[in-house]
Amino acid sequence: MKAPLRLAFSGALILLVLAGAILWLTRPGPGGAPDAAIALPAGTRIGGPFTLIDDQNRPVTDETYHGRWLLIYFGYTFCPDVCPTTLQTIANALDRLGKTSARITPLFITVDPARDTPSVMARYVRQFDSRIVGLTGSEPQIAAIAKAYRVYYAKETPKDGTAYTMDHSSFLYLMDPKGGLAALFGPQVTAAELAAAIGQKLGQDK
Ligand code: NI
- CB distance 131 to 94 below 8 Å: yes
Tens-digit pLDDT profile for residues 42-69: 888 899 999 999 999 999 999 999 999 9
* CATH superfamily membership of 3-203: Glutaredoxin (3.40.30.10)
Q: Which residues pair with 37 in a beta bridge?
A: 185
End-to-end CA distance of the chain: 60
Q: How far away, in angstroms, is 82 Cα from ligand 1 center?
A: 5
CA distances to 49, 51, 149 from 86, rounded to whole Å, are 24, 24, 17
- 197: closest CA among 180, 169, 173, 178? 173
- CB distance 136 to 110 below 8 Å: yes
pLDDT of residue 32 exceeding 50, the answer is: no
Q: How far away, in angstroms, is 14 Cα from ligand 1 center?
A: 22
> pLDDT band at residue 33, thresholds of 50, 70 and 90?
very low
Q: How far away, in angstroms, is 187 Cα from ligand 1 center?
A: 10
**Order of strands across the sheet that contains 172-175:** 59-61, 51-54, 133-136, 104-110, 69-75, 172-175, 181-185
For the chain, the structural domain boundaries read 3-203
Q: Which residues pair with 154 in a beta bridge?
A: 167
Tens-digit pLDDT profile for residues 104-132: 999 999 999 999 999 999 999 999 999 99
pLDDT of residue 194 exceeding 70, the answer is: yes
Whole-structure pTM value? 0.82
In eight-state DSSP terms, residue 39 is: P
Q: How far away, in angstroms, is 5 Cα from ligand 1 center?
A: 33
Q: How far apart are CA 158 and CA 163, in angstroms?
A: 7
Q: How far away, in angstroms, is 15 Cα from ligand 1 center?
A: 21
Q: Which residues pair with 106 in a beta bridge?
A: 71
Neighbouring residues of the ion ligand 1, judged by CB less than 5 Å: 75, 79, 82-83
Q: How far away, in angstroms, is 53 Cα from ligand 1 center?
A: 20
Q: How far away, in angstroms, is 83 Cα from ligand 1 center?
A: 4
